[in-house]
Amino acid sequence: MAQTPGFVRWNLEANNQDNAAVRSGLTGAPSTFKRLVISDGLVPTNATAYAPYTAGLGQAFAVLSNGGGWSSNATPPGPGSAPRRTFYTQFQATATAATRLDSLILDASVASSAAGKIAVMYSLSNFVSDSASITAAKGPAISNSTVTQPGGLLPATANGTFGTGTGTSNAGAVLPQYATGGVPSTFRFALTNGAGLALASGQTLTVRLYFGVGSSSVGRYVFLRNVTLKSTQPALASKQAVAKQSLNVYPNPAQDFLAVAHPAAAKGATVAVYSSNGQKVASLAAQPNSTATEVRLSTLTAGIYLVEYNDGQQRITSKVVKQ
């Protein structure tokens, strides 16, 4: 089991750096692109302008800065609808103490296309001598002109797998098409099929996200945010076990921000903060299917608080020290 809980997140709503306020056992390097570029923020012909970074939407990028270039028939050719190894965005996390990670969580969607896909691989040698593909994943429900899937556990034919020794992923997970106001877009990719991946202190994990979009038009930006690597969570066998289970919160003690890890959130689930006298001092909705919620503590005075996750069926709590 992890000696130190591992948690690192790239919000991607203002820049490409990880959120230092919620690190635990890990530090993150700024994300990088290979043959993908950030949006130029301009209005492409017959398309919508998207800023490079937007709160609630995340980072906007494509093969070209105008949201085009995806077609495999373009000059130079893009990846097409199937993710390819030569088009990716990369994230690196280095362990500051021995830890164990079990999953990669992220929000992703694509503008103006029902033919977007994502595949994932990771390596402990920066892809020099090893790499591993995702073998199990959960994703959002999707219903568009080409794909209908209920959400939850993704089939092996579309779970974000890349495969060994192949340049193209034939099992990319389907991205939801972005709609104004947002769409459910949370994916959870298991590392080593959920068995957990151990990192020694000083060891670096490199994750590459590969994207493909089946369109030759401009304005087809991929949106990416809340890229999160987190440690193994104990299995919750029953409601009684859940009631006794404490939330994992990072960091603790905390100053400005607190990351609250919880079960995959049901619709209507909340995360609340209570003072030592029982007064509710903060409350926010947990995004459906998400497994972590960020809470701002900067306005609270120093002291001991109770953090509670509640979805109507279970309540899980933990104490946190606000510095």
Residue range 112-167, pLDDT digits in tens? 999 999 999 999 999 999 999 988 999 998 877 777 888 899 999 999 998 766 79
Spatial distance between the Cα atoms of 102 and 310, rounded to a whole number of angstroms? 23
pLDDT band at residue 110 under the 50/70/90 scheme: very high
112 dihedral zone (left: phi>0; alpha: psi -120 to 50; beta): left
What CATH number does domain 248-322 carry, 2.60.40.10, 3.40.50.300, 3.20.20.70, 1.10.287.3510?
A: 2.60.40.10
Percentage of the chain beyond pLDDT 70 is: 93
Given this chain, do its domains 4-230 and 248-322 carry the same CATH topology? no
List the domain boundaries for the chain. Answer: 4-230, 248-322
* Chain centroid to CA 66: 24
Structure tokens at 189: 């990719």
Cis preceding-peptide flag for 176 (omega within 30 of 0): no
Q: Which tokens hold the place of 144?
A: 């568009």
pTM above 0.85, yes or no: no
Joined together, the tokens standing for residue 188 give 């959870």
Beta strand residue intervals within 130-276, DSSP E: 132-133, 137-139, 142-143, 148-149, 152-153, 173-174, 177-178, 186-190, 197-199, 204-213, 222-231, 248-250, 257-261, 270-274
pLDDT at position 208: 98
Provide the CATH topology of domain 4-230.
Answer: Jelly Rolls (2.60.120)
DSSP 93: E
pLDDT in tens, 242-291: 334 567 888 888 888 888 888 888 888 899 898 877 788 888 888 888 88
pLDDT at position 237? 35
Confidence of residue 194 (pLDDT cuts 50, 70, 90): low
